[in-house]
Structures are given as structure tokens and as C-alpha cells.
Amino acid sequence: MKKTISIIGGGASAIILACELDPKKYSVSIFEKNTALGRKFLVAGDGGLNLTHSENEKEFISRYTPNDFLKKAFSHFSNKDLIAWINKLGVETFVGSSGRVFPKKGIKPIDVLNAMEEELKNQAVKINFKHEWQGFSETNELIFKTAAGTKKIKSDLTVFCLGGASWPVTGSKGDWLEIFEEKNIKVIPFSASNCSFKIEWPKNIIKSIEGKPLKNISVKCNNKIHFGEVVITSGGLEGSGIYPLSPQIREELNKKNEAKIFIDLKPDLSFDEMIERISKPSSKLSYTENLVKQLNLNKTQIVLLKSKLGKSDFLDPITLVNNLKNFELTISSLGPIEDAISTVGGISLNEISENFELKKMKNNFVIGEMLDCDAPTGGYLLQSCFSMGKFLANHLNDRV
Ligand SMILES: Cc1cc2nc3c(=O)[nH]c(=O)nc-3n(C[C@H](O)[C@H](O)[C@H](O)COP(=O)(O)OP(=O)(O)OC[C@H]3O[C@@H](n4cnc5c(N)ncnc54)[C@H](O)[C@@H]3O)c2cc1C
């Protein structure tokens, strides 16, 4: 007799898991509260569906917080395996100049989702839409709210794939923390990751800097430095140049209520090189014109420097270059969770075994963004969902 598996939630982690469970061993049902699968997956594809990253295993694993979080699952289903899996579904991929992996030009996120849904059909997975999981009955049946009223379902195994708490419009609201808490399972309140970071810009400069990028910079918080690009918003900073520092910034905010970051606006030039370049100004150029020319500074950088330094400091080459190499900004809070790309928080990693089984609720598993771990953008978020889903499918297929 086949065992029954209920997968609750219908995002990336649920889909690969359901595709990869052996239909000869399991009768698989997905329960999703929306009327469609993968709404966040589609949102993720809005600016280009970054499926994974092509870098080597050692570097890849180090992107996660905690560092060893994905090690085992990734060794079973790596970025190369994910690319092969997607290709097998008929979706061709390419590696961009940054090493990120995308579907080939012309393939839309909905095409990728359709290809995965086709595979669900092939695997005879039953999909139940408009089923909102609401908790457990006294005898640990799963309780669902449906259009026809409350429904109780008993299954041999249950896998929770409820997602994080950002972009609640996609269905992942993180509103299930209390249900697990009542089962004595430790949960961590959600907070934003890969989000905007709030900075109080001087009012008189906002108009001239809002929407402007700072390219080819490095950003440092605590001992972590990341190179990239950020965009200045009216309320702070965002972008791939600062997202990977989310764990460090969050930690500082928790400890001190503010986080200092230091931007090197010219990481390719040393302090001495810059001093050398600006020390022999041409008599035809003003002091600022000479800075712009010799150091290749743009208007936004000049506005930022002038807003921070008084006139005498701006005119002092050593103070000026010190600030170019170490431009200090204070982050007062994380941006709203609703707008964040991902979240941390959810089920504590201490609560799950190495096979993603809840230690206090045998035969119940948790995978995907609902686990308390962090990863930057760049394909690492989806890869972790796919690696966990495939790893768990292999584990369960081997178990019966
Ligand atoms: C704007 C944006 C851009 C992104 N870009 C990228 C990117 O380019 N690359 C990348 O790697 N990652 C990206 N991500 C992150 C990535 O999309 C997510 O990490 C990933 O989709 C999470 O998958 P999941 O399966 O854990 O959860 P989700 O995809 O969030 O799925 C959870 C599902 O559970 C359902 N659900 C929730 N509660 C219940 C309930 N009580 N009952 C029944 N169903 C329920 C939800 O409706 C939802 O369908 C992006 C995210 C956002 C918001």
C-alpha cells in the first residue's frame, strides 16, 4: 500500500519535492491556499529569473548564514544538478557575466513554472487549491479552511513548505508561527533580508541623489566587505551591493539600534594613489573640477562628500580621500518586510534533524524559506529551496 504525503504550500520547494517523490511509493498531494502554484516564483522572475549561481561548491556554501546550513542538501543537489534538472524539463539556461544563471532569453518565468507543473502532472501529483492550512486537530490531523468549510486530513507524512513572510500578496505571510509554537517548537519572529536599509539623508540633498546608483564600490559592515552597486532611495540604500551584508547589519541593529556601514567609493585606487593624483592641480581647473577629473568622481559622489564634510575638510586632500575610502553612513532600521526579497526567522534550525524532520513531531518535515536561515540574492534563495526539496525527496524515497 502506498503511503500518503501532504505537502502544504505550493512554492518552489514544494514543487521540486512533489516532482521528485517516487509515485510508486507515495500518493502525493499539494495543498495550496491560492488558486495557483508558485506565485512568489513568478514575482522572483519579474526582474529576470535568477535560478542559481554558477560558482564552485565551496564559495556557494559560504553564502549561507549559518554557513554549513545547505552543505548536505547542496552536496546531494548542487547548482549543476539544478541546471541539469531545469534543462531536462525543456528549459534552456545561460550563465550571465556575473556568474548568475537564468533561463535563456525569450523563456519567461511562467514558461518555467508551466514546465514544472507539467512534470507534476506526469508524476500524478494531486493539487488542491483554496486549501488554507490552519493547524492541527487534537489527534494531529491537518485542518484546512476550504470554500466548502473546514476539512480534516490525515496523512502518513506531512511536509510544510509555507515560505517566508515577504511579499505577503503572493500568499507567504508567515502567519503560522503560533501554530508551531503551541507544539513547543521554537520559532523566531520574521525580519526582512535582502531589503532596503533606512538612512536619514540630509533633507537638502535628497532631490539630487534619489534614484542615483553608486557603482563599483565596496560596502563594509563589521568585518564583512562586499563589492557591487547600490541605489540611493529617498529613505536609504538598496541593491545587490548591500544585500549580502543583511546578516551583519541586522546583528548591529539588534545590538545597538543602529548599524554603521563604510563605503569605499573608489576601491580600485589606494589612498596614496588618490593623494598623488590630486596633489598637482592644473591652474585652469577649480579644486572640485580637479577632483572630478583626477579621481573620476560623479555629481552624486561630490554631493555626498560635501554634505558630510565642512568646507575646510572638503578642501583638505587627506580628510577628503579618507572619506572617499571610508564614507560612513548610519542605518537606523531595516526597510519594510512586505517589500523585502526574503526573510529570516521562522522555524529554528535546532528544531529539525539533518533530514529536515521536526524533532518533536516525527513524520513532519519543514523545508524552504520557512526555516530560519539567510542567503543573499544571486540565485542562492531558489537554489536552497530546490536543494532541500530534492534532498528530502531522495531521503523519503529511500525510507520506504
Ligand atoms: C521580489 C522577489 C524577487 C526574488 N528574486 C529571486 C531570484 O531572482 N532568485 C532567487 O533565488 N530567489 C529570488 N527570490 C526569493 C524566492 O522567490 C523565494 O526564496 C522562494 O520562492 C521561496 O520558496 P518557498 O517554496 O520556500 O516558499 P514560497 O514560494 O513563498 O511558497 C510558499 C507557498 O505556501 C503557501 N501558503 C502559505 N501559507 C499557507 C497555508 N496556511 N496554507 C496553504 N498554503 C499556504 C503560499 O501561498 C505560497 O504559495 C525573490 C523573492 C522576491 C519576493
Model confidence, pTM: 0.94
Q: Are residues 185 and 232 in the same domain?
A: no
pLDDT at residue 283 in the model: 77
Domain final residue, candidates 307, 334, 361: 334
Measured in degrees and rounded to the nearest 5, phi and psi for residue 47 equal: -100, 25
- The pocket around ligand 1, CB under 6 angstroms, is made up of 8-14, 31-34, 39-41, 43-44, 49-50, 132-133, 161-163, 166-167, 171-172, 176, 341-342, 368-369, 377, 379, 381-382, 385
Q: Are residues 379 and 237 in the same domain?
A: no
Which ligand 1 atom is at minimum distance from the Cα of 13? Answer: 25
Nearest residue by C-alpha to atom 14 in ligand 1: 44
Residues 73 and 184 in one domain: yes
Look at residue 186 in the predicted model and tell me its pLDDT.
Answer: 98
The half-sphere exposure of 90 on its side-chain side, counting CA atoms within 13 A, is 10
Q: Identify the H or E element spanning 236.
A: strand 236-238
Structural domain count of the chain: 2
Is the same domain home to 284 and 363?
Answer: no
C-alpha 195 – ligand 1 centre gap (Å): 15
Clarify whether residues 168 and 27 are in a common domain. Answer: yes
- Pick from 278, 305, 334: which residue ends a domain? 334
Q: How much distance in Å is there from the Cα of 3 to the middle of ligand 1?
A: 27
Q: Are residues 261 and 325 in the same domain?
A: yes
Give the separation between CA 233 and CA 196, rounded to whole angstroms.
9
Q: Are residues 182 and 232 in the same domain?
A: no
Q: Please give the distance, rounded to the nearest whole angstrom, from the Cα atom of residue 161 to the centre of ligand 1.
A: 9
Q: Are residues 125 and 208 in the same domain?
A: no
In terms of residue numbers, what domain contains 362?
3-193+342-399
User: Which of 172, 168, 175, 194 is closest to 340 using CA atoms?
Assistant: 194
* Helical ranges in 99-226 per DSSP H: 109-122, 177-181, 206-209
Quote the ligand 1 centre to 168 CA distance (angstroms).
Answer: 9
Query: Which residue among 63, 131, 172 is best mutated to probe the pocket of ligand 1, counting the most ligand atoms within 8 A of its Cβ?
Result: 172
**156 Cα to the center of ligand 1, angstroms:** 25
Q: What is the DSSP letter of 167?
A: S
Same domain, 139 and 82: yes
Cβ–Cβ < 8 Å for 235, 335 = yes
State the distance from the centre of ligand 1 to the C-alpha of 216, rounded, in angstroms.
Answer: 30
Q: Running along the chain, 400 residues long, what does each successive block of 10 average in pLDDT?
A: 97 98 98 98 92 97 94 97 98 96 96 98 98 96 97 98 98 97 98 97 96 98 96 96 96 97 97 93 86 94 96 95 98 96 98 98 98 96 98 95
CA-closest residue to ligand 1 atom 19: 381
Instruction: Identify whether residues 137 and 21 lie together within a single domain.
Output: yes
In this structure, are 105 and 205 located in the same domain? no
Q: Copy the grid coordinates of residue 366.
A: 519543514
* Residue carrying the nine cell digits 526573510: 343
- Domain end point (choices 334, 366, 383): 334
Give the per-residue pLDDT at 204: 95
Max Cα–Cα distance, the chain, nearest Å? 90
Domain shared by 38 and 72, yes or no: yes
